[in-house]
A and B are shown apart, each in its own frame.
Chain A
Amino acid sequence: MPPDENRNARRSTQGVLAGLVRWLIHLPPLAAAEPQASTTMPEPARLEFFEKQVRPLLIARCHECHGPQQQKGGLRLDSLAATLAGGDSGPAVVPGKPDESPLIDAVRYGQVFQMPPKGKLPDADVAALVAWVRLGAPWPKGESGTALVERHDAVQGGPTFTDDERAFWAFQPPTNPPSPLIKNSAWPKNSLDVFILAGLEARSLSPVPSADKRTLIRRATYDLIGLPPTPDEIEAFLADDMPDAFGRVVDRLLNSPHYGQRWGRHWLDVARYADSNGLDENLAYVNAYRYRDYVVSAFNRDLPYNQFVIEQLAGDLLPPDADEAVRQERLVATGFLTLGAKMLAEDDPVKMEMDIIDEQIDTIGTTFMGLTLGCARCHDHKFDPIPTADYYSLAGIFKSTKTMDNFSVVAVWHERPLAAPKQVAAAEAHWDHVARKKSEVDDHMKGANDAIVAEIRRNASKYLLAAALMDAGQFALEALMPTPTPDLPAGGPPTGAIVIEAENFNRGQASKLFDGYGAGIGVIASFGPEASFAEYDVELPADGLYQIELRYAAADSRPCGLLIDGQWLKPDAAKERTGTWNPDTQTWYAEALVTLSAGKHTLRLERREPFPHLDRLALVPRQLPDGLDSEMFGIQESDAVNGRLNRAVVDEWIRYLARTKHEPASAFYAWRIWQEAYGPSPTVKPGKVKPATVKFDTVQSDAEFSPVVALVLREPKPISAAELAERYGQSFLAAENAWKELKQSPAGSKADKLGDPALEALRQVLGDPQGPFALPAQPEVYYAAATRAELSRLRDELTSLEQSAPPPLPLAMSVEDRTVTDVRVHIRGNHLTQGEQVPRRFPRIIAGDKQPPLRPSTSGRLELAEWLVQPDHPLTSRVMVNRVWRGHFGEGLVRTPDNFGRLGERPSHPELLDWLARWFVEQGWSLKSLHRLIMNSATYQMGTEYRADAAAADPDNRLFWRKDRWRLEAEAIRDAILATSGRLEPGVGGSLLKASPRQYVASTNSVDITQYDSFRRSLYLPVIRSALYDVFQAFDFAEPSVANGGRTSTTVAPQALFMMNSPIVTAESRHLAAKLLAEVPADDAARVGMLFARALGRPPSAAELSRALEFIGRMEVNAAWNALEPAERRLRAWQSFCRVVISSSEFIYVD
């Protein structure tokens, strides 16, 4: 709170208290603040206070959200009972105890709540509420019975489930339904068909006839492998008259490696697969592809689905397998838990952790069970019987799982090496060694740095005095050289100054520029990343103190090292920005003071990156003011240890004193007053210089000023600046010692400040990272020669160690168990308001109230996975067979594939769903068996024929009276175009993401680094969250941030633009045209036939053929292409026709 407001607050609080006293004036004497006492107070006065001061306030400011209409946070404040019962975070008021009442904390704008949210109440109102609570929250008795808000009590372990909730269909194990009776017994090819036919017959509908063979093979091929059938495959199938011909096509396709690419991609939709974290700082998941490859492989080898579930949730926890490859594969499988969308730049680490756990719970619920578990994070699920407590039971499992290495900004997700344990151990040993060497380097530097700081502390009084003298003597390194303007005034350099043109270096590799940046003046500069240096030999006529100045222009800061005779003078010379690189902003800057002997010296400037634009250097002779020792300004090697003052530190003191000059609270206030009164001379005594102009004698008594003033000006008063500086030095030392002592005492180990305000103020200065005792920039240049040599030796060792590192081990996004813990319920999802701790266990609506406790030694992930794939689990098998059904038919038997809860749709064929679920489990959870069953059914093989009567009775085809036509998905469209043009590279596995680990993708300059120009199958194109590939985006790719088993299919104009103008359609139609012209000799009709066969899987009709030839002929001679060669015109005409075919609805729809 701003100070003024604080004062107001005090005043108004007093006002209210006075008012309260007036209310209480008629009461017997008692301590109003004691709750026990308040209960003995006469009722009427307290109630009157409530009615006049409190109730109107509650009505005006609280009831809108916490009253009869709304009860935000489950709280209402219109009756005492409701107020005492409170809301989701417990009672709002503890009578008699304002400091323990959340209501009071909220109106005080505490940490947890700030109410009212639109702005703080006036202080008087807050005080009234405080007084009311202190009085025991009086409220007229008759009103205390107002109905409470009905709400679940999450804290008590959730509601018991109602019978209705328990009876919901999706929570019953799949039944074993009898085969229904049907009339047309000739139609079914297997049991599945009987269920479908029964549904149709019940509505007096019949299935449409079977599709023709061309349609069937095109359908099955796109369905199972996501590619068009080749003309040869079509011909072979047409020629095959055996009854099981289609069954063998299905088997062939199931055995194709492309099957896993196609159906694995369906799974990746529900696994919300992506190659970046998305949401904010978007980093590459360079190892996510291993999980993708695992999924493709799992589908191709028909890994039983129950095993697939277990490996993804707990592959790392499975009992050891003899085969190392299997172990690694199972680690990769758990990438499922890690690769979700994450906000990696979340400032609140606790929130970030809970958000990541939430994402996992939510995905698992959706993916495996079709339950929206995430809804229970903040409150009991509104529609499904998932209490908040059950959510946090699951949260315990995932909090006991290590998904992240840390939760800092930007956070690091966990990865595990994919290598044999021995190899991992060897690599770890090496990195341990590196780490130890690093800490050796660090320790060495820390020791040297500590020595520098200790020196500053030891010599504080000298630094103080030197800073004052230097500052007053204008030795604050202001440039003495004139900065010429276009009409350069007379003046020139001071007497004795040595001025050197920068381009006249004796040795160096800087570029000399005489135009552009150097026009008219000549500068040195450097380009590219190469290191630059320039050395100048200088002959000095006399011993003395010299100020070194540089004249340069720089639009960006480009600090250079400044050395003399090989010794460091300054690490960051020429670091200013002048505004431009051009001569118009060339400016002199003073860089250093140094005492030099007469004779030859070498001045050197160096920088690892490009130089600023240096025009000139100068050495200007200076005179030291009295009281300063020229020895102080020797070359700065090891000043800290040689007892000389460090010039860089003096500069820092000057800057600090200037910066804090106008702050009365500054520890150096007394010092400033002294300087103003008596100047910087160390020996001048008070009284000699107009003391009347300063308030030196009065400052000690004013409390506004720093307590340090009294400390350093204590009697006997200092009589010279030197003495005052000495006082400061001693006082800093005292503060340092007092702090050390305090921290060593048992009582003080947790103290965060010193008791003595003066010493505490000095301690603050000592520790200020921008203060005068801070380590100077680039401290290494001030190390002693031996220290530096040792440092460089250690660094060399470190470098060679690092260079001898074994090649990096491949990594997988993977999890492992960590400290096992249960979690408290987070009331309203807020980690700041926690309720009861709940044990790790599974949702009770399915697993029951009595569950054996999970072992305390593991997270419980394996148990969770095993529970999910119990044969009679009501959801796992149903949800998966429904996903497979949807993959084949475009709609599930449950049309909300990700939600089997109350808000999801009910199954259209519940018996069939159950029958399939049980059959699936009985077949050993084999997905390929399920495909065979479905595709060999009459239901699957129906045509797409339209029937008005059936459409009228069942417009959505919920009963499956025909097979629905479907539009190819984004990946299949691109793959089909490439397959048709002949350029598809069908290989399996690997990554196309051209990023280094954790590199930013779609980075802050909005340039998407990802490249999509590949002929690999679309499955392998990077999926960058929040910057999805535009072809994917145009055609309804599943949003990769959430599990999504229900891709949509929209028809929007951007898709048409894609077909008309996209580079890929342009390039592939041209390639296809060239291929047809080259490979199908002579006959245009044969070419059209080949195009139709490849693209549409059928020959053209006579009308289509003649129209095609007419179009191509017309295009070839069209005027717009007159200037082109005939061959090119012909190619373009064919390209046009190919584009039309690729753009046709028939191409991207499958019957």
Chain B
Amino acid sequence: MNFTCNRFTPVSTRRELLRVSAAGFGGLALAALLADETAADDQSKIRNSQSAISSPLAPHPGHFAAKAKRVIFLFMHGGPSQVDTFDFKPLLERDHGKPLPFAKPRVVSAPTGNLLKSPFSFRQFGRSGVWVSELFPHVASVADDLCFIHSMHGSNSRHGGALLELHTGSDTFVRPSMGSWITYGLGTENQDLPGYVTICPTLTHGGVNNWSSAFLPAVYQGTPLGNASVASDQARIPFIDNRETPSEVQRAELDLLRSINQEQLNRAGPDQALEGRIQSFELAFRLQATAPQLQDIGGESQATHKLYGLDDPTTRNFGRQCLMARRFAERGVRFVQVTHSYKWDQHGNLKNDHTKNALEVDRPIAGLIQDLKVRGLLQDTLVLWAGEFGRTPTAQGDDGRDHNPHGFTIWLAGGGVKPGFRLGATDDYGYYAIENKVHFHDLHATLLHLLGLDHTRLTYRHAGRDFRLTDVHGEVVREILA
């Protein structure tokens, strides 16, 4: 039951940083203004105590020691089926074709029939003995690094609502996304790159709202690289390319611009916004230089290319996304999202399409985990694998499953979570989470906790109210903390 006070008081006062020039991906000295404007804001108190802080994006510590410094979120858009991937249900196989022996939810998106066994075989892997289906042989090979939550549940059975719930905590209102909250809470480590990057995000099911900063300052919004309809090797930061203007011409333009702007500032007198604007062009120019270097993976070894599946047309696109995620993470970007877009929605053709989907992501994901581990990044990088919901163990048609937000599996790996661990359970058939249930709000609280942030204290005053990622909900899932 959703007892959310998910009331987004949409009365926008001016944003706290209205007068502030958050000069882009880096910035200038604004600590005093920030403290002034957001005196009630717990986060600002922390910042206030950091005299060296110079930008809303400058890295700053959280509320307590963090286990993870950054997040890579592998988003499986569409809703992968838990009972065909990581939630092994022998009784589902046994009772195939029988009716579900208990009630289906009051609200469903479509009627489903009787129980449908998984077309995929499961076996146990690793020292942890976790059951993984044949869909994910490579991920299974790193199962001892993963921390499964089998008892996820959400409140919305439609893609749009569920995506927003997963990304922002609210399925009804436009709220800041979790990446925005995290960047707001911690800043970012590389001032020449955005703090929050989303690679090939979906434009549907809430689209931009899934990576927007809503009422948080714009500097915390996700920077999209391309979108789901763009091949990952074509995905770029908006307006980063200028194929027409040679760089020396552009440099000359910027030099002239700087002197013009500086003169205007001199005429105008002290003005934070005008100062910030001058800085923002320099930052943009630097970013323009660093981003293509970052996206040029030519320097990566053959072995790395192979590890991520770049040698295979099936895995190349997603593999490149994963490799980009590692490169961003390596350079200190705080939150990187990688989207495998809207493919996992198998109302029909479950066997073929889940097979195809898993083929596209299995090797790249396992490659990413291994690579992070080898580079020593996994210990302070939190990897999250999740869809917006799972699927029903009951059949839609004879080869499909409907949406199921009532019980599904996600996994985490790396910074601060128990490796080779499994939490929670669904019922005998995998329909409802019944043991150690974890709601999206709890997941959000836990992510923040791992990053050293107390979800009840990470607040932002907007329209006269202190907002949180978790609204009035959320409990840290302590069982999975390493």
B-contacting residues of A (Cβ < 8 Å)? 1-6, 72-73, 111-114, 117-120, 272, 278-282, 341, 343, 345-348, 355, 362-363, 366, 370, 372, 374-375, 377-379, 383, 409, 659-660, 662-663, 665, 770, 828-830, 832, 891, 895-899, 901-905, 944-946, 951, 956, 965, 967, 1002-1008, 1025-1028, 1030, 1033-1034, 1036, 1038-1039, 1041-1046, 1048-1062, 1066, 1104, 1107, 1111, 1114-1115, 1118-1121, 1132, 1136-1137, 1139-1141, 1143-1146, 1149, 1151
Contacts and interface: CB of A to CB of B under 8 A. Distances in A.
Interface string B1-23: 11111011111111101111111
A118 B149 CA distance: 13
A345 B158 contact: yes
15 contacts: A2-B428, A280-B160, A345-B160, A346-B156, A347-B108, A374-B9, A378-B7, A1004-B205, A1006-B228, A1044-B12, A1046-B15, A1052-B280, A1054-B237, A1056-B284, A1119-B248
B142 interface: no
Contact of A1026 (B25, B161, B209, B439): B209
Given A1050-B218, A1052-B218, A1060-B239, A905 B273 contact: no
A1005 B242 contact: no
Contacts of B20: 1050
B21 A1050 contact: yes
B262 to A, nearest CB: 9
A1033 B238 CA distance: 11
Contacts of A1053: 23-26, 280, 283-284, 287
A1039 B11 CA distance: 12
A1055 B283 CA distance: 11
Nearest to B278: A1145
Given A119-B436, A372-B9, A828 B3 contact: yes
B227 A1006 contact: yes
B359 to A, nearest CB: 15
B465 A903 contact: yes
Interface in B262-316: 264-265, 268-271, 273-274, 276-278, 280-281, 283-285, 287-288
A896 B463 contact: yes
Contacts of B151: 119
A1136 B251 CA distance: 11
A73 B277 CA distance: 48
Contacts of A1008: 203
Contacts of A1026: 203, 206-209
Contacts of A362: 10
Contact of A1050 (B22, B91, B229): B22
Contacts of B257: 1140, 1143-1144
Name which of A2, A660, A1053, A1144 has the most chain B CB atoms within 10 A of its CB.
Answer: A1053
A1050 B276 CA distance: 9
B443 to A, nearest CB: 13
Interface of B: 1-5, 7-15, 17-26, 91, 97-98, 101-102, 106-109, 113, 151, 156-161, 163-164, 171-174, 202-209, 212, 214-215, 217-219, 223, 227-229, 237-242, 244-246, 248-250, 252-254, 256-257, 259-261, 264-265, 268-271, 273-274, 276-278, 280-281, 283-285, 287-288, 341-342, 398, 424, 427-429, 434-437, 439, 463-465
A1061 B241 contact: yes
Contacts of A355: 172
A373 B154 CA distance: 27
Given A1061-B288, A1144-B260, 8 more contacts: A346-B161, A372-B11, A830-B1, A901-B464, A1005-B228, A1046-B14, A1048-B18, A1050-B218
Given A279-B206, A1057-B237, A1140 B256 contact: yes
Contacts of A903: 463-465
Contacts of A1141: 260
B396 to A, nearest CB: 12
Contact of A343 (B17, B161, B248, B256): B161
B264 A1145 contact: yes
What are the nearest 10 A-B pairs in CB distance?
A280-B160, A903-B464, A946-B269, A1053-B24, A1042-B10, A898-B11, A1026-B207, A1056-B284, A896-B13, A1006-B228
Given A119-B436, A345-B158, A1026-B208, A946 B17 contact: no
Nearest to A1004: B204
A1063 to B, nearest CB: 9
Nearest to A894: B13
Nearest to A1038: B12
A348 B107 contact: yes
Given A1005-B229, A1066-B244, A281 B208 contact: no
A1111 B237 CA distance: 30
A1139 B341 CA distance: 37
Nearest to A1053: B24
Contact of B101 (A2, A113, A279, A956): A2
A895 B13 contact: yes
Nearest to A904: B464
A1027 B280 contact: no
Nearest to B260: A1144
